[in-house]
A = this chain, B = another copy of it.
Amino acid sequence: MGTFDTTTPEPRVASLLLRRPLRLGLAADLTNLIYSQGGRILYHDQVVDSDSGHYYTCLKWNASDMKCPDADMTVRLAALFGDGPDTEWSVRYSDQPMRMAVFVSKDPWCLYDILARSHSGEWNVQVPLIISNHPDLKHIADRFGIKFMLFSVNKENKNEIETSQLDLLKNEQIDFVVLARYMQILSGRLVQAFPSRIINIHHAFLPSFPGAKPYHAARERGVKMIGATSHYVTETLDAGPIIEQDVLRVSHRHSVQDLVRFGRDLEKIVLARAIWSHIQRKVIVHNGRTVVFD
């Protein structure tokens, strides 16, 4: 499996994401709690929004030798954070890797990249399911031994198919969904079932060129840079919280085909960075935008 060593036992890592109104001393109380229970802190980053006074933190610790069981730890954390308004938190352990479903249509580049990263052990994630509205990429799913479910959506069966898809996602215990160049708009029902847990890659530097042929529009407009944007899906099209963006410099020398080619690589890399941040539990969504820890 290459240089991603999977034989030495990895430590069991707990990762906590928390957002709530700032309370002085909370960070010290939190780190004290973890130390007192035998945790060793591996990563701690925190941000205070100076406008709203809201506090965001990402904390990871080696949980291999905790004195109390996970359930107890959850109770203690809940007591610490309180249940006041505007408070949200979760903790998750690395021996329960997230389960990801990938939705695709006909474009292979993001799918290949995702499967290479998950399969080689670069990402600590499981990919049990690929859903598509076209049969074209089934051969890739087969190559990697992953279940490939084809749904030929049309107006009549759309509602019924979504019910099947929701069942599938539930049965496979899917934690989050990646739209890897999936060329169909999700219904509100699906979006609501996975709040801030559906990641899309948009083939443009949002909010520019939101339309269907952004590279043609970009070439027409004579832009000197093109970009790609990865964001969480909300019910408003292309307006979800941005996770990652990047750009490349272009010139009059580049044809639309060149822009499309650059765009493919941008999409692939930008989507991969967004997924990595999500898997690493480094993203908090609040008020329609993200805090993405380094």
Give A23-45 as 1s and 0s: 1 = Cβ < 8 Å from B's Cβ atoms: 01101110110010000011111
Which single member of B1, B108, B225 contacts A2 (CB below 8 Å)? B108
With contact pairs A242-B221, A292-B251 given, residues A44 and B35 touching in the complex (Cβ less than 8 Å): no
For the complex, what is the distance from the CA of A44 to the CA of B46, rounded to whole Å? 9
In the assembled complex, which residues on chain B have CB atoms less than 8 Å from the CB atom of A44? 48
Which of A10-18, A86-94, A188-196, A283-291 is found at the contact surface with chain B?
A283-291
A25 to B45, CA, bound (A): 15
Q: With the chains together, A137 CA to B258 CA distance in Å?
A: 32
Number of copies: 4
B residues within 8 A CB of A241? 222
Interface assignment of A129: CB less than 8 Å from any CB of chain B = no
Q: Is the CB of A106 within 8 A of B3?
A: yes
Interface size on A, residues (CB 8 A): 75
A95-103, A146-154, A161-169, A201-209 - the one binding chain B: A201-209
Cβ contact of A265, chosen from B41, B242, B269, cutoff 8 A = B269
Per-position contact with B for A251-265: 1 when CB-CB < 8 Å, else 0? 111110010010011
Task: Determine the distance from Cα of A131 to Cα of B154 in the docked complex, in whole angstroms.
Answer: 47
Asked if A143 is at the interface of the complex by the 8 Å CB criterion, the answer is: yes
Q: Within 8 Å of chain B (Cβ to Cβ): is A64? A: no
Interface string of A208-219 (1 = CB under 8 A from B): 110000000000
What chain B residues lie within 8 Å of A78 (beta carbons)?
none
- A208: B residues at CB distance < 8 A: 205-208
> Which chain A residues (231-265) contact chain B, with CB distance < 8 Å?
241-247, 249, 251-255, 258, 261, 264-265
A245–B250 Cα distance when bound, in Å, is 10
Point out the residue from B112, B225, B294 that lies within 8 Å of A227, measured CB to CB. Answer: B225
User: Given A112-B113, A252-B290, 16 more contacts at CB 8 Å?
Assistant: A1-B108, A2-B106, A3-B107, A24-B31, A27-B27, A43-B50, A113-B116, A205-B205, A207-B208, A222-B242, A223-B245, A224-B243, A224-B245, A224-B292, A227-B247, A251-B294
In the complex, 29 of the A-B residue pairs with CB atoms within 8 angstroms, ordered by the A residue number, are A2-B106, A3-B107, A4-B108, A27-B27, A43-B50, A44-B48, A45-B253, A47-B252, A108-B116, A109-B116, A112-B113, A112-B116, A112-B120, A143-B144, A205-B205, A207-B208, A207-B209, A220-B289, A222-B288, A222-B289, A222-B290, A223-B242, A224-B242, A225-B227, A225-B246, A225-B247, A227-B247, A261-B276, A265-B272
